[in-house]
């Protein structure tokens, strides 16, 4: 982990190395620093997203637009780019925190609302919505996506309530739910018209262009509502890392918290993807990036995940717009393009460190 | 006082535990011994209500454990499971600080951090505070787990095979630390052990389990008679005196 580097430097430099509680204090400051760096990165990405595009704008144009000047540049910045950027930040934060919480309560680094089948449920809902209501009714499509995200969550909770079902059962069940909805999606695609198939494929690519302020408001509520609860439970998530039984003995309502957390992370995920389509990988990769920066203490990890997720999606959106103008590469493709190599880099780095 | 009355548990029709009654007083180390599958771990889990007992009950100071709020339960009993999971990189200090979970609000208060620091120091592991828990040796990991349990400041410690997988020195260290802690801080400990000699040396009393029931319970050498061991383990042993210590020497599998 990066934040430990300084300790090694101290040792080599001959300064007295901090031990025990003092070392913990130092570590805390380093984590705060890591959070601050992530915050700067996120703000930077957001600012870049507002200023950079096919149409040249500068910081002065942004200031003018914010001060109420009307004109082409202001319209582009406030009307076109601002909603994209806000949605990107929201989606990234929602997916990342949902992933971090799932990884904690299931004690599995591979867990995320995607592996639990929530997103395939939402995907199938969207597909059904496209076939039934056509893509001219995006609200109906989003509503249908939400309903099926809820249904897949209920399926998962059903598995969770089987007596003696551990987190492995839950993850296997989630993968099964994922395949169920994927095959249902394929079936609808197979029987659909060419137009429908086109719309379906487009929905699955993910696009931030679909988001208007009304959609952003709905997503923001769904993503912001669960956050305080999840954040207050940070210590309980830490206890989960010691295993279910140890967590129970540490006074955590393991069953109840797991159910609540799965529901809330499903809500976060649904809020993130119902309007913009399936944006993969963020829920898995952002918590891991955050963990490498600030460690596994969820008091730091949850905000760090939210920030890394937000920064990643904002950056991916920016790159997707400037890479091949005037084409916009779908965001769902871009997040993986960007996330996978970065993730591999961190993975290799960490493995080397341990050897 | 920690006590169980006729504690029983089963998976479906398979009985794992039946009619187990025992007690642990403050300042006392009680060992649970018995062959594999005798129900030792199940016993600890039932007392903690990690597994809900089928019949009977466990009580702490006369109160049924099942009726306690989880947080209250955690203030009465600390538990170190057999397996030491390590799923995500976590610093040693964070692991120990977890023991303060029952007392913490959201922010870790200075006294919680101090307590965790003191327990880490007691184990002689202060220098490892920032190390990744995963990178420690088995013995160090076990000590960190013990530090976490000590930091929990519960009245009773329930430890599941704290010395298995440890080398000679670590076995001795861990048991001495436990003995010292119970004596100094007036805590009671219920410890599952495999090594009969360790159990004999460090326990105030021993409970010997056979097929889910108490076979014998009492003072160490009353329980560890050759006849009892042969009946429960199916192994012929001889007890020899060595420099004022008595040790059990296994001879052969009883035919």
Contacting residues of A for B109, CB less than 8 Å apart? none
> Does any domain span residue A141?
yes
> Does any domain span residue A17?
no
Confidence of residue A352 (pLDDT cuts 50, 70, 90): low
- Per-residue pLDDT, A91: 93
CA gap B212, A241 in Å, rounded: 31
Strands (E), A26-174: none
Confidence of residue B165 (pLDDT cuts 50, 70, 90): confident
Q: Is the pLDDT at A80 greater than 60, yes or no?
A: yes
HSE, side-chain direction, 13 A CA sphere, residue A97: 35
Least confident stretch, A209-213, B120-124, B158-162: A209-213
| Cα nearest neighbour of B45 on chain A | A245
Contact B129 A23 (CB under 8 A): yes
Q: How far is A27 from chain B (nearest CA, A)?
A: 7
Contact B120 A109 (CB under 8 A): no
> Does any domain span residue A6?
no
Model ipTM value: 0.87
Q: Is the pLDDT at A2 greater than 50, yes or no?
A: no
What pLDDT digit, counting tens, does each position of B31-43 carry? 999 999 899 999 9
- Supply the CATH number for residue A100's domain: 1.10.3470.10
Regarding predicted confidence, which is higher, B99 or A211? B99
> Does any domain span residue A275?
yes
For an interface test with B, give the residue of A16, A28, A108, A242 to mutate (most B CBs within 10 A).
A242
What pLDDT digit, counting tens, does each position of B170-207 carry? 899 999 999 999 999 899 999 999 999 999 999 999 99
Q: Tell me what the pLDDT averaged over chain A comes to.
A: 84
> Does any domain span residue A8?
no
Number of domains in chain A: 1
- The answer to whether residues B157 and B149 touch, using CB atoms and an 8 Å cutoff, is yes
> Does any domain span residue A10?
no
Contacting residues of B for A252, CB less than 8 Å apart? 70, 101
Which one of A24, A103, A251 has the shortest CB-CB distance to B102?
Answer: A251
The residues, ordered by sequence, that sit 6+ positions from B180 with a Cβ below 8 Å of its Cβ are none
Q: How far is A251 from chain B (nearest CA, A)?
A: 4
B52-66 average pLDDT score: 92
- Per-residue pLDDT, A117: 86
In sequence order, what are the beta bridge partners of B207?
A: B32, B217
Contacting residues of B for A19, CB less than 8 Å apart? 126-127, 129
Q: Is the pLDDT at A1 greater than 60, yes or no?
A: no
Confidence of residue B87 (pLDDT cuts 50, 70, 90): low
Which one of A24, A236, A291 has the shortest CB-CB distance to B88?
Answer: A291
Q: Is the pLDDT at A4 greater than 60, yes or no?
A: no
Sheet with B55-60, side-by-side order of all strands = B14-24, B2-11, B55-60, B63-64
DSSP assigned state of B104: -
Q: How far is B62 from chain A (nearest CA, A)?
A: 19
The residues, ordered by sequence, that sit 6+ positions from A20 with a Cβ below 8 Å of its Cβ are B93, B117, B120, B121, B126, B129
Contacting residues of A for B87, CB less than 8 Å apart? 107-109, 241
Confidence of residue B237 (pLDDT cuts 50, 70, 90): very high
Contact A249 B77 (CB under 8 A): yes
User: Nearest-5° angle of CA A279, CA A280, CA A284?
Assistant: 130
A328-333 average pLDDT score: 84
The pTM assigned to this predicted structure is 0.87
B145-150 average pLDDT score: 92
- The answer to whether residues B31 and B217 touch, using CB atoms and an 8 Å cutoff, is no
> Does any domain span residue A19?
no
| A-to-B residue pairs, Cβ atoms closer than 8 angstroms | 127
Q: Is A6 on the interface with B (CB under 8 A)?
A: no
Contacting residues of A for B158, CB less than 8 Å apart? 249
- Per-residue pLDDT, A5: 40
Q: Is A297 on the interface with B (CB under 8 A)?
A: yes
> Does any domain span residue A287?
yes
What pLDDT digit, counting tens, does each position of A262-287 carry? 999 989 998 888 888 888 788 888 99
Q: How far is B90 from chain A (nearest CA, A)?
A: 5
Q: Is A228 on the interface with B (CB under 8 A)?
A: no
Q: Is the pLDDT at A11 greater than 50, yes or no?
A: no
Boundaries of domain holding A320:
29-354
Element (H, E) at A10: helix A5-13
Residues, chain B, total?
255
CA gap B92, B200 in Å, rounded: 32
CA gap A288, A282 in Å, rounded: 10
Q: Provide the terminal-to-terminal Cα distance of chain B, rounded to the nearest Å.
A: 41
CA gap A139, B139 in Å, rounded: 58
- The answer to whether residues B73 and B49 touch, using CB atoms and an 8 Å cutoff, is yes
């Amino acid at each position: 982990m990066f934040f430990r580097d300084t300790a090694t430097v101290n040792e080599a430099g001959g300064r007295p190395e901090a031990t025990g509680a003092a070392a913990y204090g130092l570590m805390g400051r380093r984590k705060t620093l890591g959070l601050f760096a992530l915050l700067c990165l996120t703000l930077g990405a957001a600012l870049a997203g507002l200023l950079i595009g096919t149409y040249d704008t500068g910081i002065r144009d942004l200031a003018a637009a914010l001060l109420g000047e009307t004109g082409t540049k202001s319209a582009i910045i406030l009307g076109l780019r601002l909603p994209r950027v806000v949605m990107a930040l929201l989606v990234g934060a929602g997916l990342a925190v949902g992933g971090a919480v799932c990884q904690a309560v299931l004690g599995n680094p591979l867990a995320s609302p995607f592996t639990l089948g929530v997103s395939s449920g939402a995907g199938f809902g969207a597909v059904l919505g496209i076939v039934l209501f056509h893509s001219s009714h995006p609200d109906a499509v989003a509503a249908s996506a939400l309903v099926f995200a809820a249904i897949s969550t209920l399926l998962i909770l059903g598995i969770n309530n089987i007596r003696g079902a551990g987190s492995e059962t839950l993850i296997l069940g989630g993968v099964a739910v994922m395949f169920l909805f994927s095959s249902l999606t394929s079936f609808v695609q197979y029987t659909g018209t060419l137009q429908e198939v086109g719309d379906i494929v487009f929905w699955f690519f993910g696009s931030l262009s679909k988001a208007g302020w009304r959609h952003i408001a709905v997503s923001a509520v769904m993503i912001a509502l669960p956050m305080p609860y999840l954040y207050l439970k940070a210590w309980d998530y830490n206890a989960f890392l010691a295993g279910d039984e140890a967590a129970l003995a540490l006074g955590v309502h393991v069953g109840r918290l797991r159910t609540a957390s799965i529901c809330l992370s499903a809500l976060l995920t649904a809020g993130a993807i119902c309007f913009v389509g399936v944006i993969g990988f963020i829920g898995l990769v952002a918590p891991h990036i955050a963990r490498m920066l600030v460690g596994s203490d969820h008091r730091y990890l949850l905000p760090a995940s939210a920030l890394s997720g937000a920064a990643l999606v904002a950056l991916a959106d920016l790159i997707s717009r400037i890479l091949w103008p005037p084409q916009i590469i779908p965001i769902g493709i871009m997040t993986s393009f960007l996330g996978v190599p970065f993730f591999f880099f961190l993975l290799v780095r960490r493995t080397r460190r341990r050897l | 006082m920690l006590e169980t009355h006729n504690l029983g548990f089963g998976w479906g029709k398979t009985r794992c535990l039946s009619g187990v009654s025992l007690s642990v007083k403050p300042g006392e180390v009680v060992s649970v011994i018995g062959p594999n599958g005798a129900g030792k771990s199940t016993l600890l889990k039932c007392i903690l209500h990690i597994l809900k007992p089928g019949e009977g009950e466990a009580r702490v100071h006369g109160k049924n454990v099942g009726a306690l709020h989880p947080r209250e339960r955690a203030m009465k009993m600390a538990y170190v499971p057999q397996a030491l999971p390590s799923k995500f990189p976590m610093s040693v200090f964070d692991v120990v600080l977890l023991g303060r979970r029952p007392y913490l609000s959201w922010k870790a208060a200075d006294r919680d951090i101090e307590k965790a620091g003191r327990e880490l120091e007691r184990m002689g592991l202060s220098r490892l505070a920032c190390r990744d828990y995963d990178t420690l040796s088995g013995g160090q990991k076990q000590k960190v787990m013990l530090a976490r349990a000590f930091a929990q400041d519960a009245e009773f410690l329930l430890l599941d095979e704290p010395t298995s997988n440890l080398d000679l020195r670590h076995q001795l260290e861990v048991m001495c630390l436990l003995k010292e802690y119970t004596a100094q801080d007036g805590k009671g400990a219920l410890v599952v052990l495999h090594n009969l000699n360790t159990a004999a040396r460090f326990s105030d009393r021993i409970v010997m389990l056979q097929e889910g029931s108490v076979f014998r319970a009492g003072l160490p050498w009353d329980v560890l008679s050759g006849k009892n061991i042969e009946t429960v383990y199916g192994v012929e042993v001889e007890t020899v005196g060595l420099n004022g210590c008595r040790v059990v020497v296994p001879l052969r599998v009883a035919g």
